[in-house]
Amino acid sequence: MADPEVAGRPDAYRELATRYAELQPLVEASRKLVRVRKDLGAARELAADEADAELAALARTETSELEAERDRLESEIRSLLLPRDPSDGKNVVLEVRAGTGGGEASLFAAELLRMYERYAEAQAWTFELVDVSESEVGGVREAIANISGKDVYARLKFESGVHRVQRVPETESQGRVHTSAATVAILPEAEELELEIDESKELRLDSYSASGPGGQHVNRTASAVRITHIPTGIVVQCQDEKSWHKNKAKALKVLRARLLDRLIGERQRKEVLERRGQIGSGDRSEKVRTYNFPQSRVTDHRIGLTLHRLEQIVAGELDELIDALAAADQSARLRSEAGR
């Protein structure tokens, strides 16, 4: 990084700076471990000194503390040495769709969209809507957003799947609890080098005026863009911006993310999924979480975690859930590595 030739190449320097930041925690933990092992050896020698009983007793206490610190550092280093998901540092495309449950499902989808927007704000990430299709009752049939910032995919990748809500709808006169669902997809944003698209041959672009029930996100000028990827039939549209070019750029981001997700899915299907059971496959057809409003309870079915703080979670306080899912994934990967 100190090489003037590297400093003059921004892309190369940025890549090295990212790698440096990734390695720094491992280096620091390794240096601490060297110091702790050295101190532990000295403490053990003092603990074995029969000439000074009081000093030996103090040394035995210190030995116990140093052994615990050594074990903690060794565990931390093993975790840091695990192969990093190459997509962890990427921005994401968030897709939320209402599932079974009619209007109530669309209201729940809107709540999930706001939940992720609030979480993004708390993380100092950028949250940009790409496209929103609103329902007649003020909910969301489908919404797409770009989220950018530090390690967005690493934090959100376990959110993909079917999210289920249990509550009494406002229209329910007899107080019965209804169950509805919404689907969440977290797609790592694809870089141009990862996917080459020949726009002249592979894409069909259509311009149109936005339509729908209205709302703050709908743009009614003729600047909305619909992009069709001819080889796969994937269709993406964007109507959030007033500029046609901005809508096209946003839609292309979503298209690239969907194509990358498709490519990753094809690769995974060809591999043996050694750790499918712990946190699930990430398949969005899989039920991942239930939000029970009458009991103020949120349950993540993949790791069996239940939290009785639904209001805070829906308000965007997701760290406890995300940290637990990341820890479960890490444990599964450590067991997988140990079994090889």
Q: CA-CA distance, 240 to 222, in Å (whole number)?
A: 12
Tokens of 246: 């901005």
- The pLDDT tens digits of the residues spanning 98-151 come to 998 889 999 999 999 999 999 999 999 999 998 898 988 889 999 999 999 999
- Top-ranked range on mean pLDDT: pick from 53-67, 161-175, 200-214: 53-67
Burial 190-215 (b: 16+ CB within 10 A, else e): beeeeeebeeeeebeeeeeebeeeee
* Residues 295 and 308 sit within 8 Å (Cβ to Cβ): yes
Model confidence at 249: pLDDT above 60: yes
Residues in the chain: 340
Give this prediction's pTM.
0.69
Residue 241's pLDDT is 78
Output phi, psi for 113, to 5 deg: -60, -45
* Tokens linked to 337: 């590595």
Q: What is the pLDDT of residue 280?
A: 47
Contact of 229 with 259, CB cutoff 8 Å = yes
194 vs 11, 19, 201, 224, 257, CA distance in Å? 16, 19, 18, 27, 10
Percent of residues, the chain, with pLDDT higher than 70 = 86
Return d(Cα 171, Cα 35) in angstroms, integer: 65
Mean pLDDT of the chain: 85
Which pLDDT score is estimated for 189?
85
What is the CB neighbour count within 10 angstroms for residue 185?
19
Query: How far, in Å, CA of 236 to CA of 254, rounded?
Result: 7
CA–CA distance, 112 with 115 (Å, rounded to integer)? 5
User: For residue 298, is pLDDT > 70?
Assistant: yes
- Residue 291, classified by CB atoms within 10 Å of its CB into exposed (0-12), middle (13-18) or buried (19+), is buried
Percent of the residues in the chain that have a pLDDT greater than 90, as a whole number: 45
DSSP 189: P
C-alpha to C-alpha distance for 236 and 251, rounded to whole angstroms: 6
- Phi/psi for 205 (5° steps) reads -110, 130
Between 339 and 175, the higher pLDDT residue: 175
- Cα separation, 280 vs 278, in Å, equals 6
Classify residue 128 by its DSSP letter: E
The number of CA neighbours under 13 Å toward the Cβ of 33 is 15
Cα–Cα dist 166/69, whole Å: 44
Q: Phi, psi at residue 148, to the nearest 5°?
A: -125, 150
Residues 6+ apart with CB under 8 A from 50: 56
CB 260 within 8 A of CB 188: yes
Give the contacts of 194 (CB within 8 A, at least 6 positions apart): 256, 260
**Amino acid 173: pLDDT:** 67
- For the cut 70, the answer to whether the pLDDT of residue 216 exceeds it is no
- Maximal C-alpha separation, the chain: 90
The alpha carbon of residue 82 and the mean position of all alpha carbons in its chain are separated, in whole angstroms, by 18
Enter the DSSP assignment of 94: E
Question: Which residues are CB-neighbours of 19 under 8 A, at least 6 positions away?
Answer: none
